[in-house]
A and B are shown apart, each in its own frame.
Chain A
Amino acid sequence: MDSVLELRAIRKSFAGFAALDGADFTLRRGEVHALLGENGAGKSSLMNVAAGLYAPDGGRILIGGREQRLGGPREATAQGIGMVHQHFHLVKPFTVAENILLANPRGRFSRGIETIEREIAFCTNMLGFVVDPHRRLDSLSVAEQQRVEIVKVLLGGATIIILDEPTAVLTDEEADGLLTTMRRLAAQGTAVVLVTHKLREVTRYADRVTIMRGGRHVAACDPKTMSTAQLTELTVGVALPSPVREKTARGELRLIVAGLRVEHETGRTALDGVGFQVRAGEIYGIAGVSGNGQSELVGALTGTTAVAAGDIWMSGAGHIADRPPAIRRSGGLAAIPADRYAQALAGGLSITDNYAVAGVMAGRYGPWGWLDRKAMAKAAAAAVRAFDVQGVRGLKQRAGLLSGGNAQKLVLARELAGDPVLIVAHGPSRGLDARACAAVHERLLAARARGNAVVLVSDDLDEVIGLADRIGVMSRGRIVAEFDAPADRQAIGRAMVDHG
């Protein structure tokens, strides 16, 4: 057998909750092995066990056929296992070279920096991309940071590379580039684990796929012999109907944006005269390569980014371009921000508090200083049920412990409660599994059918095309083209890059 890594009957519990319940996994030399599973299935947990970060409660780890005990990441690295985490493990104020040197010491500091810079150049040359070793990490894009992680792992001599949802934050092209590189490494004998929710990547790039559900192994097979429908069914248990967009009557104007300008501290213009209108019962999609002003637009709409010039009018709240977020929210704005853990939830607070905070602001649970905690808990419990938030062990549990999809469902439950005038959603299904993704889309379509106006900003072109009634394409801080549904994918794709 040429299995380089074997995990047998791994068990791991967190505070009594079994995240891994006898999970098996076998990795062979020279393969790209996809790991599929719903949010919270235990994919990251299992890989963290392999990387030495989580100490398993039970089970066996075999590396190169021999049983090993991994006391920590250092032992795993020594065994040739390197992992690129879902949330990168990088030091923001350090340079690229310093970050890589930290994990791969090369003697004394100044000599080490020189050596590592040479090695970085060699490694990136081989992989076919560039990273400037002198750049500070926080000045890099997510895709570039990921490259740093990969170089870091490779220079550590890894022969087993674990990538935990590497493509969740990448554009299609970047993802293809990364996975092609991984295929090349596999051809040279490296074993690659690819954790992902995107079936397209599985069928295109993986030699084998393991599917997990509820902390256990469900199946391992060759993805080439499977249809996407079969894979989906194995992953989530049932076949999913794709959401249908019914015809709705467009209502009155809900949002008018005109001549919007946003400038960065550095003086760079992030938004340069953006204008569009959204009506009730309509989803206005914004497509584009990320980094072309989408985040700034969402910030300007929700009130977290200062506007330099231009006007935002929202029915129910009036001209809001320079009003604080609270005014907008009381006027009926609902926001589903891109970073759910940082901007949408308070990770350290309970599920109840996170759900009920909007209602508290509106005075729904009694006056300030006299909250009806019972009513809050009851409302939260109902919402958790209605929106099918999984992995809730108790309403007092910290919201930060929810897996990505379930955290997003909680945000949706809060934001869609009541009858918002306008919903601004930014990358609402990023990092979500097929089922959670479908749930999010269904909720947004339901809001549209109810007559809410929706602005949907997403890097995922398929998502925008599938949901939006009209699509604006953003490039370099402008809306360069607008399309009515049904839109032509090719034409949108051209508009995205033509001006970019």
Chain B
Amino acid sequence: MAICEFIVNWAGGVPATALPYALAALGLIVSERAGVLNLTAEGLLLVGALAGIGASLAIADRPWVALPAAVLAAMAVGLLFAGLVVLLRVNQVIAGLAVVFFCQGLTSLLGTLAEWQNHPISGLGKLIVWPLSELPAGTHALFQQDGLVYALLPIFYGVHRVLFKSMTGLRLRAVGEAPEAADSAGLGVTRYRVLAVVAGSALIGLAGGYLAVGGTKMWFGGMTGGRGWIAVALVIFARWRPWRALFGALLFGCIESMVPRIAAAGISVPQYFILMTPYLVTIAVMVWAGRGKGGADLDEPGALGRPHVREERR
């Protein structure tokens, strides 16, 4: 049954391709729920990826070394971004773009200087968790996944709980919706925004680290290939809600893991058309998400992109 095998293989590839999108979008949601418009994902993915590979090569080729390194590196860059937009109140779009360009340059430079380019690592190994491993062998291609894939659901559940079922989340969202209200309720708007950006950056860094140590298993410049931008679009599609972002990420995972399989199946489609599809789908999805609605109806956080200064009148 060739077609059946094709589908199992394809579906088995989906979680791994979807994971970076999902985590990156989740990180952006955390930041933007606090009112900080965040375009840094593409840069943070690169930083996470390089740090993951770098740690594997320089310290130990272990995922529990590589992934924390990726997270920490991205958090550092996130802190820089937060300082720019929250403390210095630099325009959030411009600062976001600047951080991306900075990260692109920096990672290429460091990757070359440290000679981390094109050195394969063993990276993350696949595993299959217990009840699933008892299923017939034919399905194993479906469930043989990286450990992080299994951690994805708990991560999403946890972030969802924190955002919507905890005081921290209530405050974080208040800061993003109505900073004046949060401020007069006695909350430190600045502190919450910095924390949200840094926490979100950690998730994006994890996504970047996974791309490198779980996916390509080596570093090359610009290896994230625009995934960060798609994550930015996913957030809008998901209306800043974690579960919808996971759904969107899976959708993209389906498309992306289909691409090489179509080529492998010998169906001739122009290569550039295939490379273009994720972006076409992005645009289509965005149009669909926003059909017939004004900006306010998209559930955008009320103060997204707007710095808060206590004594300033709007």
Which A residues contact B (CB, under 8 angstroms)?
14, 51, 53-55, 72-74, 77, 83, 85, 88-94, 98-99, 101-103, 105, 108-110, 112, 347, 400-401
Contact = CB atoms under 8 A, between A and B. Distances in A.
Contacts of B311: 14, 53-55
A108 B181 CA distance: 20
Contacts of A53: 183-184, 310-311
Contacts of B299: 93
B291 interface: no
Given A109-B167, A347-B314, A401-B313, A85 B184 contact: yes
Contacts of B302: 91-93
Interface in B167-187: 167, 169-171, 173-174, 177-178, 180-187
Given A73-B186, A89-B184, A92-B302, A101 B170 contact: yes
A94 B299 CA distance: 12
B170 A73 contact: no
B126 interface: no
A105 B170 CA distance: 11
B91 interface: no
B165 interface: yes
B184 A73 contact: yes
Looking at A54, A99, A109, A401, the one whose CB has the most chain B CB atoms below 10 A away is A109
A91 B185 CA distance: 11
B186 A77 contact: yes
11 contacts: A53-B183, A53-B311, A54-B311, A73-B184, A83-B184, A88-B181, A91-B173, A99-B181, A102-B170, A102-B171, A400-B313
Closest 6 CB pairs between A and B? Answer: A74-B186, A103-B185, A89-B181, A91-B178, A73-B184, A89-B184
A400 to B, nearest CB: 6
A73 B165 CA distance: 25
B241 to A, nearest CB: 12
Contacts of A102: 170-171, 174, 181-182, 185, 187
Interface string B290-314: 0000000001001000000011011
A355 to B, nearest CB: 19
A88 B299 CA distance: 20
A90 B181 contact: yes
A92 B167 contact: no
A109 B162 CA distance: 10
Contact of A110 (B165, B177, B186, B187): B165
Given A73-B184, A94-B173, A109-B169, 6 more contacts: A53-B184, A72-B183, A101-B167, A102-B171, A109-B165, A109-B167
Contacts of A54: 310-311
Contacts of B170: 94, 98, 101-102, 109
B122 interface: no
Contact of A89 (B165, B166, B180): B180
A89 B167 contact: no
Given A53-B310, A110-B165, A401-B313, A94 B184 contact: no
Contacts of A108: 166-167
Contacts of B167: 101, 105, 108-109, 112
A211 B249 CA distance: 61
Contacts of A103: 184-186
Contacts of A14: 311
Nearest to B183: A73
Given A53-B184, A55-B311, A73-B184, A90 B178 contact: yes
Nearest to A347: B314
Interface in B255-314: 299, 302, 310-311, 313-314
Interface residue range, chain B: 20 to 34
Contact of B174 (A74, A77, A94): A94
Contacts of A77: 186
A89 B178 contact: yes
Interface of B: 165-167, 169-171, 173-174, 177-178, 180-187, 299, 302, 310-311, 313-314
Nearest to A341: B314
Nearest to B303: A91
A234 B185 CA distance: 35
Nearest to A75: B186
Given A73-B185, A109-B165, A110-B165, A94 B314 contact: no
Nearest to A51: B184
Contacts of B165: 109-110
A138 B185 CA distance: 19
A102 B187 CA distance: 9
Nearest to B166: A109
Contact of A91 (B166, B181, B186, B313): B181
Nearest to A45: B311
B184 A91 contact: no
A85 B180 CA distance: 10
A91 B169 CA distance: 14
Contacts of B310: 53-54, 72
A92 B180 CA distance: 12
Nearest to B167: A109
Nearest to B171: A102
A282 to B, nearest CB: 36
Nearest to A88: B181
Nearest to B181: A89
Contacts of B173: 91, 94
A216 to B, nearest CB: 20
Nearest to A103: B185
B308 to A, nearest CB: 12
B53 to A, nearest CB: 40
| Max chain A C-beta neighbours (<10 A), residue from B166, B169, B302, B310 | B310
A327 B177 CA distance: 36
Given A72-B186, A73-B186, A74-B186, A92 B177 contact: yes
Contacts of A74: 186
A93 B177 contact: yes
A428 B55 CA distance: 66
Given A55-B311, A109-B166, A347-B314, A92 B178 contact: yes
A71 to B, nearest CB: 11
Nearest to B302: A92
A85 B181 CA distance: 10
A400 B312 CA distance: 11
B300 to A, nearest CB: 10
A93 B35 CA distance: 14
Contacts of A72: 183, 186, 310
B49 to A, nearest CB: 36
A142 to B, nearest CB: 16
A14 B310 CA distance: 13
Nearest to A401: B313
A94 B177 contact: yes
Contacts of B181: 88-91, 99, 102
A91 B314 contact: no
B161 to A, nearest CB: 9
Contacts of B180: 89
A362 B135 CA distance: 75
Nearest to B301: A93
Nearest to A83: B184
Contact of B177 (A85, A88, A91, A105): A91
